[in-house]
Amino acid sequence: MEFSRRSFFKIAGATAGTGLLAGGTARAETASADDKPGVLVDTTRCVGCRACEAACAEANGLPPPPEGDDVLAARRDTSQTAFTVINRTEAPGGGDRFGKKQCMHCISPACASACPVRALDKQPGGPVTYNPSKCMGCRYCMVACPFDIPKYEYESAVPRVRKCSFCAPRQAKGLPPACAEVCPSGALTFGTRHELLEEAKKRIYAPGAAYVRHVYGEHEAGGTSWLYVSDVQFEKLALATGMPDRPYTDLVAGALGAPPFIMTLWPPLLMGLYTFSKRREEVEAGEHAPKHDEEVHHG
C-alpha cells in the first residue's frame, strides 16, 4: 500500500510545487516507522561471543558459523550462507570492539524500490523480506543496496537472493529476532524504533559518555530499523558510510515522475509535428505543380 501512495507522489513530484508534499510523506513514513520494531546495537556492550551468528544460522537453516576467535582476525562480510557477521576492531583506550553486520531493514529500502517484481518487499510490520517465487534474478537489489546486504547464490542453477529477514516469521509469532534473543551481554535491544532512539540518545548524550555523538541508522539512507551507538568510528566497525541521508526512493522520484508526462504529451506533440510537415509538403507540392496534374496523379 505504501508503494502505491508513494508512486502517486512520484507522478506529482515531477512538478516543483509538490516537492514539498513528497517531503511531507517521507516524514510521515518515518513517523509511522518509529512505531515499528527495531534493534539498538550498543557496540560498547558487545563482547564478541558471536552467539548471534550461531542463533541466526540455526533460525535460518544455514551452516553453523566457524568456531573459535581466529575468524575475527580478518574482516568478514555477510554471505549467502551467513546473514550476520561480527567484525572486530580496537577501542580507543585499548581492548576490542565488535561491529555486527546484517540487513538494516531500511524505512524506505533501496532494494525493494529497485525490485521490478516486488520479490523484495517492505512488510507492513517493518521487515524487508524476499520471495524467491517472484524473483527473476536481475540482481538490481544488489546494485542498489548502499549497505551491500543482498547476496546471490551464483553457484546454483536456481539461484536466490539471500539476506537477513529480521526473523519475520518469528516476529509474526511475537518472538524477537533470534540474534537479539540470544545476545547475553545486552548489546542488542529489541523494541520499537522510537523507544530505541530515545534510549540511544540518552546513552550517547549522558554526561561523561565516550560515545560518538551519532546514532548510526537514524538518518542513513533515510533511516533504518537497526540503530547503532558506538565509541569508535562506525566505518572501523565495517559499517558502510557515505550514503545520502535522503530515502533512496527519493533519488529516482524525479526520473520516475516523467513517464506519465511522456505518455500523455509525446503523442500529441509528435502528431503536431507530423501535421506541420505534411502541410508543408502539400504547400510545396501545390507551388510546384498545377492543380489539375495533382488530380490526375491521384485519380
**Shortest distance in whole angstroms from residue 101 CB to another protein:** 13
What count of residues does the chain have?
299
Distance between CA 29 and CA 224 in Å, rounded?
Answer: 12
Least distance from another protein to the Cβ atom of residue 172, Å = 21
Q: Does 115 contact another protein by CB under 8 A?
A: yes
Q: Where does this chain touch another protein (CB under 8 A) — which range of 5-13, 54-62, 66-74, 185-193?
A: 5-13
Pick from 83, 43, 24, 7: nearest CA to 228: 43
d(Cα 290, Cα 41) in Å, to the nearest integer? 87
User: How many beta carbons lie within 10 A of that of residue 100, not counting itself?
Assistant: 26
Closest CA to 39 of 110, 100, 95: 100
Query: What spatial distance separates the first Cα and last Cα of the chain, rounded to whole Å?
Result: 61
Residues near another protein (CB under 8 A), total: 65
Among 28, 31, 47, 117, binds another protein (CB under 8 A): 117
- Name the segment binding another protein (CB under 8 A); options: 38-46, 85-93, 116-124, 286-294: 116-124
Q: Residue 240: CA atoms inside 13 Å, Cβ hemisphere, count?
A: 17
58, 198, 281, 293: which one binds another protein (CB under 8 A): 281
Minimum CB–partner distance for residue 151 and another protein (Å): 5
Query: What is the nearest approach in angstroms of another protein to the Cβ of residue 188?
Result: 25
CB within 8 A of 233, min separation 6: which ones?
212
Output 210 or 285, the one with its CB closest to another protein: 285
Q: Which three cell numbers stand for residue 68?
A: 573459535
Gyration radius from the chain CA atoms: 27
Q: Which 27-86 positions form the footprint of another protein (CB under 8 A)?
A: 77, 79-80
Interface with another protein, residue 278, by CB under 8 A = yes
State which residue, 20 or 263, has the beta carbon closest to another protein: 263
Q: Which residue has the cell 548489546?
A: 187
Binding residues vs another protein (CB under 8 A):
3, 6-7, 10, 77, 79-80, 110, 112-119, 132-140, 142-144, 146, 148, 151-159, 240, 242-244, 248-249, 251-252, 254-256, 258-259, 262-263, 266-267, 270-271, 273-274, 276-278, 280-281
